[in-house]
Structure 1
Amino acid sequence: MGIVGERARVLVTVKASPQPSAKYGDTVCVAGLRIDESPHRWIRLYPVPFRWLSSSSQFSKFDIIDVTVKRRVQDSRTESFVPDTQSIEVVEHLDGWEARAPYMNLLPTTATCRLMSEAERDHAAPSLGMVRVASLEGYALEDHPGWTAEEEAKIAKAMMSSELDLFGTSAPPATKLRAPRLKLRYQYKCQEPECPTHQGLNLDWELTALQNRYHRESLDHLREIVKDKFIRQMFEDRRQTSFFMGNFEAPFKRAKFSVLGTYYPPLTVASKVPLF
């Protein structure tokens, strides 16, 4: 890619589910904390043709990476940057809740009500944030309609293109991008006292990856697998559960926020005061 920009150190907290792209094959929106600056601030990295990257450039959630970035000028959200994917270096992986606590326990939280109202007033308002879930009011597991004909065409075009060698890969991914079979939508209250409840669509790649792992299972069994992980486990009483929230680039959608990921450490870890 070879962009000219600045070097950033990022703690990756979000990898959204891949979406078809004619230019990049399929792209992922990545977000996290820029920890080379104080105080730490949110950063969005896009586009990331993650599945097409060389293995040395791929990373996991809660990896700390160094990457060259430049402002994404066509996106007025201040957190948005274009990464040079060939410049990615994985520094370390924060393995487990205890390792993540020194960063995450210092991170200020916000509320979905606040994010929405601020984005309604100002397109440059925060477009990313961590929201403490006050209560899970309900959820819906809906059938995913699959890729549209236009999306299928994008995938097919990319699989036959050689232009993606620019991103450090010599061949397409081993598998074609598979559409998830289910969509998960939460109904929840944030911590604003007068919160009317929110609907939040889960866009986390972890949800798609879980479905891919069990793609041979019946739809009923898959529903139980998803429910066990994303409802029972993530919202146990012994956990403090928060959503990583993000909005859309299109100006008319700025006040709409989706669930990009879930952070659910045990209460015993979440209550610890970091030493730095």
Structure 2
Amino acid sequence: MTLQRILIVTKTYPSISQKYRETVCTAGVLLDDLDRPLGWVRLYPIPYRLLENDQKFKRWSIIQASIERNTKDSRLESYRIDIDSIVVEREVDTSDSWRYRKELILHPSLQFPSTEAIKSQGRSLGLIKPLEITKCYYESDAENWTPAQKRILNQESIFEKPLDLEKIPYRFGYEFIDADHKKHRYSIIDWEIKQLYRNSRDTKLESNPELWKKSGCEGVQLKLSRFIEEKDLYFLLGNLKSRPQTFTIIGLIYPPKVKGDQLSLCLY
């Protein structure tokens, strides 16, 4: 393994794993000692909620960690990480309208014009600027974990306690057109958006369960719409290991808008 510096850009909502019980896929940017971006990296698996408190890196943290290529994953950006080696170096703040964050994340080497450009270069991670966003949406998903997933969460031993992980019964996403003028409908698997649903829902005093859940969806919908109207919005795209031709939005990058307008149209 090699010790590297990594800017943490996004974390996906935890998923259930037979081997690791619960894991988080983290995407970041490799940095040299002068903070110059070297390329995208995917760190998996990370049992984030089981890390020591001083190792629980936030989004936009720069960490140091020992990593190595994951030879069981054909995606070039995929690396394993030595959990015990994680050291949080510092956080990159939003001062001066995201100036330093933008220097790190909007480097030309990290950006692509379209999903097809990412695929054609044999990559599985890439930042794109949508040409037009036509709709943000939410739709129903499975209400509960499967019986097999519940058994994994409920495992208990002298070393492990049962895990409490909420199943979010909705998918959220954007419909957009990229620079190749191709239309896409991608779901967002960013932990930040799933947590926004929970926060929006839990602030409402609503006795009707369906209305209570709907209030969470409306909170996410409002935020996604505001991103279009008020932010210079970029999508960090990543594909699936089992279906490499299928991409999702694994992170939203939203510095303040400085020019231009994007259409806002959010529908159920």
Query: Which structure has more RCO (C-alpha within 8 Å, separation ≥ 6)?
Result: 1
CA distance in 2, matches of 1:113, 1:24: 31
Aligned to 1:202: 188
Deviation for aligned residue 1:112: 3.3
Identity, in percent, stands at: 27
Among candidates 210, 213, 225, match of residue 219 of structure 2: 225
Kindly report which structure 2 residues correspond to 1:1-276, keeping only aligned pairs within 5 A, or say none.
Answer: 5-36=1-32, 40-96=38-94, 97-108=98-109, 109-115=111-117, 117-118=119-120, 125-145=122-142, 146-157=144-155, 160-161=156-157, 176-192=164-180, 195-216=181-202, 217=204, 218-229=212-223, 231-236=224-229, 238-250=230-242, 253-268=243-258
Distance change >3 Å, CA 244–CA 150, structure 1 → 2: same
CA distance in 1, matches of 2:41, 2:66: 13
CA distance in 1, matches of 2:71, 2:159: 23
Aligned residues: 245
CA distance in 2, matches of 1:41, 1:74: 20
Of stretches 147-156 and 10-19 in structure 1, the one that deviates more from structure 2 is 147-156
Using the size of structure 2 for normalisation, the TM-score is 0.84
Deviations 1:157-191 (A, max 9, x none): 2xx14566xxxxxx666xx0111132113211112
- The gaps in structure 2 that reach 5 residues or longer are 205-211, 261-268
CA distance in 1, matches of 2:38, 2:53: 28
Using the size of structure 1 for normalisation, the TM-score is 0.82
- Three-state SS of the structure 2 residue aligned to 1:268 is coil
- The gaps in structure 1 that reach 5 residues or longer are 120-124, 165-170, 271-276
Give the residue type in structure 2 aligned to 1:207: I
Deviations 1:67-88 (A, max 9, x none): 1111111011111110011111
Distance change >3 Å, CA 89–CA 126, structure 1 → 2: same
Contact 2:201–2:219, Cα closer than 8 Å, also in 1: no
Deviations 1:84-139 (A, max 9, x none): 111111111011123312212324421333246527xxxxx110000101111113
Distance change >3 Å, CA 215–CA 269, structure 1 → 2: same
Contact 1:138–1:188, Cα closer than 8 Å, also in 2: yes
- Three-state SS of the structure 2 residue aligned to 1:226 is helix
